[in-house]
Chain A
Amino acid sequence: MRSVQRACSEVGMEALVSGDPEVVRRADKLIFPGVGAAGPAMKSLFEEGIDEAIKEVFLAGNPILGICLGLQVSLDFSEENQTETLSLVPGTVKKFRFNRKELKIPHMGWNSVKLIKKHAVLNQIEPDDEFYFVHSYYALPENDELVYALTEYEHEFASVIAKDNFIATQFHPEKSGRVGLRLLNNFSEWSG
């Protein structure tokens, strides 16, 4: 959380860390970074009433950025703890399964991101740019049109998805050096 807040401040965006649904509703822009596992994360969003607040912000049209688990809980369902998630974007989340032992899980470290569609938040992200990932599950959106970037780890998976005023990255822009800061800066200038 605080690393996202620090990175926001580096690009001149004031970010407030809050678990209060009223603060979430009033936000001009929303970032939900998400940590830990899908089950406990959804449980705490539900208990605090933040799940409804996020859905309202989405319907109201304010820009939303999901990061890592924030991307995963935006779909309908996650294999992780067999969890019903927010349904901002149609699709499911699956665990990486590999036969080769050299492929370690979590997928952790720097990897390339192949942009397949233009998006204001992805402006000036170049083909050689890499981002920092840490995850064991990946998103499978129902519709290919929602996929804006792909990353390869044994097979390709969606590393950026977007729909209307919502965009989410499987990687951590706040830990991805100046390229990541550029993405956050783009988000700060994006009107949804």
Chain B
Amino acid sequence: MLSKRVIACLDVRDGKLAKSVKFVNTKDIGDPVEKAREYYLGGLDELVFYDITASSDHRKIMLDVVESVASQVFIPLSVGGGISSVSDATDLRMAGAEKINVNSAAVIDPQLISECANSIGSQNVVLSMDIRKVQCSALCPSGYEIVIEGGRRPMGLDALDWALKGEMLGAGELVVNSIDADGTKEGYELSLTRMISEAVSIPVIASGGAGNSEHLFDVLKEGKADAALVASMVHYGDYTIEEIKRYLSGRGLKIRMSW
């Protein structure tokens, strides 16, 4: 039986770590390579780097970060942020990323998902979705809407429809990121995660809102997620990866406990 995965997400801006709260007021918290190595040795199952670099001149810094992390961290490495073409994806793959996360650019041009899947394989294409709760309407019958540009731009696109379309186009995995829960430390959005998990047949990674280990347990159990993403919970030293995993394993989930 597969273990449930604990994934740490590091937001990287101009080659340095940053963590945002509700996508504003980002501040630096250290060196991404050092942090990645620390989590790897502490039992992390997978690592995600999100490039939030505003200017495209600084994009190649990210390739260097990925390259140094890949030579020191021997678990799957996933990279996202600003990927808008197959060549962005293949550059990152060459630098050592296993999986590529597409987000805004795929909403604008959904064919990006199938092009990436054809080029690097479906299993390596992750569709990352930023989602907010809205009133149910004809446009958004599920009551959840896709937003892009770091949560600033609502797209009038139903989140459940988009998840199903992403799967059909060849995404191998989905990140369900609730921007309402993001940064609150009050728990993942369980009903959203569960709704998408039950609808698709590819793995779902829950994101946004983790504040303690029980939140992870809830989203992996009640939310039916295959993996849970953590960020500030571990970045500021409130919890270690090992503590979280020990808790989840103690509650009866299958978790990788030997590393």
- A residues at B contact (CB < 8 Å): 2-3, 6-7, 9-10, 35-36, 101, 104-112, 126, 128-130, 132, 134, 152-153, 174-181
Please give me the 6 A-B residue pairs with the lowest Cβ-Cβ distance, nearest first. Answer: A128-B258, A130-B256, A109-B2, A110-B3, A110-B256, A6-B71
Closest to B73 in A: A177
Cβ-defined partner of A2 (8 Å) among B94, B226, B257: B94
Residues in B1-16 with C-beta less than 8 Å from chain A: 1-3, 5
The minimal Cβ–Cβ distance linking A72 to chain B, given in whole angstroms, is 15
* A104-B201, A110-B2, A177-B40 given; A126·B258 CB < 8 A: yes
Contacts of A2 in B (CB 8 A): 70, 94, 96
Cβ-defined partner of B1 (8 Å) among A6, A152, A177, A181: A152
Asked if B218 CB lies within 8 Å of chain A CBs, one says no
What's the Cα separation between A177 and B1 when bound, in Å?
19
What's the Cα separation between A186 and B24 when bound, in Å?
48
Tell me whether A109 and B96 are in contact (CB under 8 A). no
What's the Cα separation between A180 and B74 when bound, in Å?
8
Contacts of A174 in B (CB 8 A): 74
5 pairs across A/B with beta carbons < 8 Å?
A6-B71, A6-B74, A7-B74, A108-B2, A111-B3
Tell me whether A175 and B2 are in contact (CB under 8 A). no
Contacts of B98 in A (CB 8 A): 3, 175
What's the Cα separation between A188 and B55 when bound, in Å?
44
Closest to A136 in B: B123
Cβ-defined partner of B202 (8 Å) among A10, A104, A176, A178: A104
Tell me whether B71 and A177 are in contact (CB under 8 A). no
Asked if B45 CB lies within 8 Å of chain A CBs, one says yes
Closest to A152 in B: B1
The minimal Cβ–Cβ distance linking B193 to chain A, given in whole angstroms, is 15
Tell me whether B70 and A6 are in contact (CB under 8 A). yes
Cβ-defined partner of A109 (8 Å) among B40, B94, B203, B258: B203
Tell me whether B257 and A132 are in contact (CB under 8 A). no
Tell me whether B258 and A35 are in contact (CB under 8 A). no
Tell me whether B172 and A107 are in contact (CB under 8 A). no
Contacts of A126 in B (CB 8 A): 258
* A2-B94, A175-B98 given; A132·B203 CB < 8 A: no
What's the Cα separation between A128 and B258 when bound, in Å?
6
What's the Cα separation between A101 and B121 when bound, in Å?
22
Closest to B257 in A: A128
Contacts of A152 in B (CB 8 A): 1
Tell me whether A3 and B96 are in contact (CB under 8 A). yes
Interface centre among A111, A130, A153, A179 (most CB of B within 10 A): A130
Asked if B236 CB lies within 8 Å of chain A CBs, one says no
The minimal Cβ–Cβ distance linking A19 to chain B, given in whole angstroms, is 16
* A2-B94, A3-B98 given; A106·B123 CB < 8 A: yes
Cβ-defined partner of A177 (8 Å) among B74, B96, B226: B74
Cβ-defined partner of A179 (8 Å) among B172, B173, B258: B258
Tell me whether B70 and A175 are in contact (CB under 8 A). no
Asked if B136 CB lies within 8 Å of chain A CBs, one says no
Asked if B21 CB lies within 8 Å of chain A CBs, one says no
Interface centre among B40, B74, B75, B98 (most CB of A within 10 A): B74
* A6-B70, A101-B201, A106-B172 given; A179·B2 CB < 8 A: no
The minimal Cβ–Cβ distance linking A101 to chain B, given in whole angstroms, is 6
* A128-B257, A175-B76, A179-B258 given; A108·B123 CB < 8 A: yes
Contacts of A109 in B (CB 8 A): 2-3, 5, 45, 203, 226-227
Contacts of B2 in A (CB 8 A): 107-111, 153
Contacts of A112 in B (CB 8 A): 1
